[in-house]
Amino acid sequence: MMTLNFRNAGALCVVLAALEVAGCSSSRVKPVPLDGSAFPSLSPYKVVTVSPFTFDPKLGVDAATGLRMAEGVAQRLRADFGPIFSQVRSGAPLGQDDEVVILGEVTEYKAGTDGGSGGAFGIGAPHLEGIMRMEDGADTQDLAKGTFEQLRAFAGMSGMGGTLPELTAHTEAAIAFTVARAKGWRPAGSPAK
């Protein structure tokens, strides 16, 4: 019989936190809050193109990170929600009538300070935020816009470091979930709306 002491409980928390990060399925995250709060209807769109994300130049993040984020969102849309679009791609928009384009701009990024030790109250915690937009591929009219934010307030305590790749992975999952919901995807067992 195993007794749960403080050391075992701490180890269990670290293992559970690691599993949560590793298994960060897009369908288990919260969607990006959209301005006006309603999801647009993406049902007429068959193609989704995720454009490379941009970073405010003052943040000093290389353009390759924006390319990886676009591919990360596209990969989650391909893998996590079934065939909701006939084509999922990343890169430059095609300009088609049946295309929705996902754009993202990272406006704020702060790496954790103090090794994350001040993270219990959000002080020195890693932080990433920005704006995502969905627009019509043919006329570039905005369909929806929202603000995303990732804050790893407990980074130092849980063992989750909150590095830029971790923050972008969680952002990619939230954006993919938002797009899937707007396309009409619902989790298994949820009532249709």
Considering only 43-52, 93-102, 141-150, 155-164, which range has the smallest mean pLDDT? 155-164
pLDDT in tens, 33-73: 999 867 889 999 999 999 999 999 999 999 999 999 999 99
Residue 184 pLDDT: 93
Q: For 74-81, which contacts have Cβ atoms below 8 Å and span 24 or more sequence positions? A: 74/48, 74/50, 76/26, 76/172, 76/173, 76/176, 77/26, 77/48, 77/50, 77/176, 77/179, 77/180, 80/25, 80/26, 80/27, 80/176, 80/177, 80/180, 81/26, 81/27, 81/176, 81/180, 81/183, 81/185
Q: Which DSSP category does 70 fall into?
A: H
Proportion of the chain above pLDDT 70, given as a percent: 72
* Cα dihedral across residues 32, 33, 38, 40: positive or negative: negative
Domains and CATH numbers, the chain: 30-183 (3.40.50)
Residue in the structure block whose two tokens are 């996902």? 102
Q: How far apart are CA 79 and CA 162, in angstroms?
A: 24
Helix (H) / strand (E) element for 30: namely none
Residue 164 pLDDT exceeds 50: yes
Global confidence as pTM? 0.77
Strand partners, 55: 106
Residue 4 pLDDT exceeds 80: no
| 150 compared with 187, residue with greater pLDDT | 150
Provide the pLDDT confidence category of residue 113 given band limits of 50, 70 and 90: low
Average pLDDT over residues 17-21: 36
Beta strands in 53-126 (DSSP E): 54-55, 87-90, 99-110
